[in-house]
Amino acid sequence: MYHLIITIFLFLCLLLYFIIAKKFKIIDKPNERSSHTKITIRGGGIIYPISFVCFLITLLFGDSSSNYVNYWIVGLGLIIISIISFIDDIIMLSSRVRIIFHFLCVTLLLYAVNAFSLPIWVVGLYYIFVIGIINSYNFMDGINGITGLYSLVALGTLYFVNENLNVFDTDFIIFPILASLVFLFFNFRKKAKCFAGDIGSFSISFWIITLIAGFIIYTGNYKYLLFLTVYGVDSVLTILERLKLKENIFDAHRKHLYQLLVNEKKQSHLLISFVYAMVQVLVNYLLIATDFSFGYYFLIIVVPLVIAYIILKIYLKKTINLNNI
């Protein structure tokens, strides 16, 4: 019952935010790099840190606890990254400022899931992967529905895993699912009512990677990283392509596969978002239904997706002029 109350509360919070955003013009104006054509409210992803605060409140009044994860430290990191991202949504911050705060927040995340008990070189790899993943999540947040749907797939899978491992409190996964459903009500539309903004993409990716890092450290199994394979393949290959072209990877662009399909091939935002999510569903099903080594999973999942991506990109290059994108 209280989950329904939380959902209604989040819905009302987002409606209130729309009023505030309109008053203070927290909006996204379309430009030549955008995938939308009308002014849209930015920062709808504020629903995620609000949801996290709701979760922390339940810890005060319930018996939710964990001997493995420090939710308050995770919450501190998520709130900090949400605030700095929201500021970045309003006034663009330098990449140096952002990376300093990202490093601080990732440090809190790793502390909360006991990562510092690992060898120092492993901790260093965690920093690289976590910072890379949350930024990739932000890069991929470019069309209606993609962040919300993809997050639902990741969270749904993580919920299933947690039912078996019991590493996290169940509400720690249910609350972001509720937030994603509320956000999708306004975002999974041909003409979205709001965009997630940096506050949305960074906060939900921070939440999800906390879950993934916790499972990896608890079990020693790295296959949970592959719950984000589709985003990872698109992000990494696009970054490599831009580096090859000697472009600044932090500058706005339209070279992601999903952007080419939507902007140049005029495919539906909602269709492409659904396809990305469903491909990840198939990957996640394979991961939870089988028990292979990480190397074998890499060969049968990542390699085929990379090949498919390259083939599709080559086809698109023959039909559109990528040099002008």
CA angle centred on 118, ends 168 and 156, rounded to 5°: 25
How far apart are alpha carbons 15 and 44 in whole angstroms? 10
- 251 or 164, higher pLDDT: 164
CA distance 73 to 276: 32
pLDDT at 65: 56
Name the least confident of 3-7, 25-29, 32-36, 294-298.
32-36
Residues in the chain, total: 325
| Res. 285: pLDDT tops 60 | yes
Q: Where are the domains of the chain?
A: 2-324
- Strand-pair category, 27-28 with 40-41: antiparallel
pLDDT, residue 62, reads 74
Separation CA 278–CA 115 (nearest Å): 31
Residue 32 banded pLDDT, cuts 50, 70, 90: low
Instruction: List, for residues 142-164, the tens digit of each pLDDT value.
Output: 999 999 999 999 999 999 999 99
List the one residue out of 55, 66, 70 whose CA is nearest residue 112: 70
The three-state secondary structure class of 246 is: coil
The CB density around residue 289, as the number of other CB atoms within 10 Å, is 7
At 38, is the pLDDT very low, low, confident or very high (cuts 50, 70, 90)? confident
Percent of the chain having pLDDT more than 70? 95
How much is the mean pLDDT over the chain? 93
Task: Give yes or no for a contact between 177 and 152, defined as CB atoms under 8 angstroms apart.
Answer: yes
In this predicted model, what pLDDT tens digit does every residue of 105-152 receive, in sequence order?
999 999 999 999 999 999 999 999 999 999 999 999 999 999 999 999
pLDDT given at position 34: 65
Q: How far apart are CA 211 and CA 205, in angstroms?
A: 10
Task: Please state the pTM of the whole predicted model.
Answer: 0.95
At 92 the pLDDT is: 87
| pLDDT given for residue 80 in this prediction | 98
CB atoms within 10 A of CB 288: 15
Percent of the chain residues topping a pLDDT of 90: 82
Mean pLDDT of 32-61: 88
Q: Give the C-alpha separation, 71 to 93, whole Å.
A: 28
Where b means 16+ CB within 10 Å and e means fewer, 153-188 reads bbbebbbebbeeeebbbebbbbbbbbbbbbbbebbb
Angle between helices 171-187 and 146-165 (to 10 degrees): 160
Decide if pLDDT at 322 tops 60: no
With beta carbons less than 8 A apart as the criterion, state whether 173 and 157 touch. no
pLDDT above 90 (res 251): no
The predicted model gives 194-222 an average pLDDT of 97
Q: Where are the alpha helices (DSSP H) in the chain?
A: 2-23, 47-61, 71-90, 95-112, 120-140, 146-165, 171-187, 197-219, 229-244, 257-259, 269-289, 294-297, 303-319
